[in-house]
Amino acid sequence: MTPKILVVGAGAVGGYFGARLAASGHDVTFLVRPRRQAQLSATGLCLASPLGDATLTPCMVTADRIAQPYDIIILSVKAYSLAAAMVDMAPAIGPQTRIIPLLNGMQHLDVLASRFGREAVMGGTCFIVSSLDAEGRIHQVGVTPRLVFGPLVAGQDATAIADALRAPGFDTVPSPHILQDMWNKWSLLASLGTLCCLMRASVGEVARLPGGTDFVHATIKECTTIAAAAGYPLAADTVNGIVKRLTQPDSTLTSSMFRDLSQGAPVEAQQIIGDLVARARAHGVATPILDLTDLNLRAYELRRNEK
């Protein structure tokens, strides 16, 4: 029997992976809010990508119309929308359902497990550069995206699930060390977010300034020290890859958190920075740069919420 896949979040990330799966013949349904449902009903789900453009009529459901459990749930929402998403997707969870969350940070793993049970929740992350334009179209750029996931408890068969999640347009990667993969990405995201949000600049702009690369190295060191203290030290080549990516003087790269901040939108401050700082405190790791970033973003959120 073909596994039934529910994609929670039809934005730049979930929309991309879900669309590629649906286009290749998988049984995919998107859990959407009424506004997004109306938009997709009118225009279709549109992808623009160097790997091939696509427009399809997606199968969609709203939370009040879920009639049965799904086999696999790909959860792709902003971390601050997790609570609402859990309420919406609860009717789709059955005894055999496996949830693959693609949220930033690590905090969501415990939140999901406390609500749906540890057996239901797998570790997951992805590597994709994509955005949603004003008309709801998804634009993917750069290298081939990767969808990475793996077991957190015994009995979760990542290989079998991987067979159900293969499609042209991205690489499906079952991982036996998913928590390390997630710490690797978290270290990158927190470093990039700190660099961009504190400096209000792109990677290249900071790298070209006197002292810029020293600041980047110090930021990365704080993040990787926390990961090591938590039991997930980054390999030397992984650290070198992060350093190389964040010190390119001609790079226009910015973090999604910085882009959200620049637009006055909500940011994933707690999930990307705040939780990392809390874990640093638990392990006795000093993080003066991350502390400043955390304070900076909390002040931003305070002012934003007071408007």
Per-residue pLDDT at 1 exceeds 80: no
Do both 93 and 184 map to the same domain?
Answer: no
Per-residue pLDDT at 307 exceeds 90: no
Q: pLDDT of 180-224, one tens digit each?
A: 999 999 999 999 999 999 999 999 999 999 999 999 999 999 999
Which of 157, 176, 195 represents a domain boundary (last residue)? 176
Which of 154, 176, 198 represents a domain boundary (last residue)? 176
Segment 19-23 mean pLDDT: 97
Confidence (pLDDT) at 157: 84
Q: pLDDT of 53-76, one tens digit each?
A: 999 999 999 999 999 999 999 999
Do both 151 and 221 map to the same domain?
Answer: no
Do both 152 and 280 map to the same domain?
Answer: no
Per-residue pLDDT at 155 exceeds 90: no
CATH number for the domain including 118?
Answer: 3.40.50.720
Per-residue pLDDT at 160 exceeds 90: no
Q: Give the domain extent around 285.
A: 180-306
Confidence of residue 19 (pLDDT cuts 50, 70, 90): very high
Confidence of residue 294 (pLDDT cuts 50, 70, 90): very high
Do both 122 and 250 map to the same domain?
Answer: no
User: Per this entry, what is the length of the chain?
Assistant: 307
Q: pLDDT of 220-259, one tens digit each?
A: 999 999 999 999 999 999 999 999 999 999 999 999 999 9
CATH number for the domain including 198?
Answer: 1.10.1040.10
Do both 157 and 257 map to the same domain?
Answer: no
Do both 130 and 234 map to the same domain?
Answer: no
Confidence (pLDDT) at 6: 98
Which of 153, 176, 199 represents a domain boundary (last residue)? 176
Do both 107 and 9 map to the same domain?
Answer: yes
pTM, entire model? 0.94
Confidence of residue 295 (pLDDT cuts 50, 70, 90): very high
Comparing C-alpha atoms, which of 90, 10, 106 is closest to residue 57? 10
Domain count across the chain: 2
Q: pLDDT of 112-126, one tens digit each?
A: 999 999 999 999 999
Radius of gyration of the chain (CA): 19
Do both 27 and 172 map to the same domain?
Answer: yes
Do both 153 and 257 map to the same domain?
Answer: no
Do both 171 and 186 map to the same domain?
Answer: no
Q: Distance (Å, rounded) from C-alpha 170 to C-alpha 162?
A: 12
Q: Distance (Å, rounded) from C-alpha 277 to C-alpha 293?
A: 10
Q: pLDDT of 71-114, one tens digit each?
A: 999 999 999 999 999 999 999 999 999 999 999 999 999 999 99
Do both 164 and 186 map to the same domain?
Answer: no
Q: pLDDT averaged over the chain?
A: 96
Per-residue pLDDT at 42 exceeds 80: yes
Do both 164 and 184 map to the same domain?
Answer: no
